[in-house]
Amino acid sequence: VPQSGSSFHVFDQGQFAKEVLPKYFKHNNMASFVRQLNMYGFRKVVHIEQGGLVKPEKDDTEFQHPYFLRGQEQLLENIKRKVTSVSSEK
C-alpha cells in the first residue's frame, strides 16, 4: 500500500519506547509520548475496518496532523502546543 505521507506509524511500540524515546525525551513511556502528540494536535488514525473497537493484529499505531505532510516542511511551524485557558472566576 503506497503511503500518502500524511501520517506516521509506530510499528512496534515496545521497541520504539525502549530505543527511540530515550534519545529525544527524558523517558521511555509510550503513553507520555502519545499525550504529547495529542497536546500538539496529532490524532491516532482509526481505520473503519477496525471499527475502533478491535485491536489491530499487528502492533501498528498511526498518527496524523493536518500540518504534518511529506515534503511540506514549511507547514511544521503551524504545529503548536494547544493552549488551555484557565478561568480565574471564583
pLDDT digits over 24-66, tens only? 999 999 999 999 999 999 999 987 765 555 555 567 899 999 9
pTM: 0.77
What's the total number of domains in the chain? 1
Domain enclosing residue 44, as ranges: 8-71
Closest to 65 measured CA to CA, from 39, 27, 30: 39
Residue with the bigger pLDDT between 59 and 19: it is 19
- The three cell numbers locating residue 5: 505521507
- The three cell numbers locating residue 18: 525502549
Distance CA 25, CA 78 (A): 22
Give residue 83's pLDDT: 83
Domain membership of residue 55 (yes or no) is yes
3-state secondary structure of 8: strand
Domain containing 54 — which CATH number?
Answer: 1.10.10.10
Question: Percent of the chain scored above 90 by pLDDT?
Answer: 68
How far CA 22 is from CA of 18, 38, 44, 49, in Å, comes to 7, 19, 22, 33
